Homo-oligomer: A and B are copies of this chain.
Amino acid sequence: MIDIILVNPQMGENIGAAARAMANFGLKNLILINPRDGWPNKAAEANSVGAFEHLNDIKVFETLKEAIAPYQVIFATTARPRDMRKKVFTPQKAIENILKENARTAVIFGGERAGLSNDDIARAHHIITFPTNENFSSLNLAQSVLLICAEYARQNLETDEQTLPTGKSELVSTEELNKFFDRLDAELEKGQFFRNQDMKPTMMNNIRSLFTRAYLTDQEVKTLHGIVSSLISNKTN
């Protein structure tokens, strides 16, 4: 488990959004260092959509130093690596490391305006930097917390096998597939397949769904057209 520390957060809305991100992904402990608008905070409550009920009691400290006392490993998040000799991790590598070490770990995030100070970062063991676009790097506080929480949850999940359809032929485009559905729809109308017109949308959804999920190729859709042509040419007994 990792705990989240927000250092000098300004807007209650962002504290609420951070809590929401944490609750979504099962994190429990949120610590606030010197929140600008005090605590508790109505804007935080409103923007959390109930997330605080899923967290342990929020702890508030005056200084980062006091807050991190019980932790063994601290990761500091920064938009860009600072001029300090620390290991810089992507979120993925950081969480891998955290799960491997199994130490009491906190991830700290700076306030909206200035991020973490050099003093704050100096207290951290490691740095996490988000691998954003070089030309557009603009994650806000709550987005950064969300990405850390989601990555933590992702790596805590078991992974699994998966089956893939077919060999080499080109997957059909949605447009071609829709032409087939339109034709099938028209032919089924002629054949009075939809005895109850109210049910037609649901039935067409089901039909659409079963064919879509098959990941049809161009060739297979041609085959299906051929099947329809063949069937409608049959004489009724």
Q: Which A residues are within 8 Å of any B CB, using their own CB?
A: 20-21, 23-26, 49-51, 54, 65, 68-74, 84-87, 90-93, 97, 100-101, 103-104, 118-119, 121-126, 130-133, 135-139, 143, 146-147, 150, 153-154, 157-166, 171-175, 178, 184, 187-188, 190-193, 201-216, 219-220, 223-224, 226-236
Contact = CB atoms under 8 A, between A and B. Distances in A.
B223 A72 contact: no
Given A208-B123, A213-B165, A213-B214, A236 B230 contact: no
A191 B234 contact: yes
Contact of A133 (B24, B133, B233): B24
Given A24-B137, A191-B230, A86 B209 contact: yes
B236 A232 contact: yes
27 contacts: A20-B138, A21-B143, A24-B133, A25-B132, A26-B133, A51-B136, A70-B173, A70-B175, A71-B174, A84-B205, A85-B209, A92-B154, A93-B159, A97-B164, A101-B164, A122-B205, A122-B209, A124-B212, A160-B161, A187-B230, A191-B230, A191-B231, A192-B233, A210-B216, A211-B214, A213-B215, A232-B236
Contact of A49 (B20, B138, B147, B219): B138
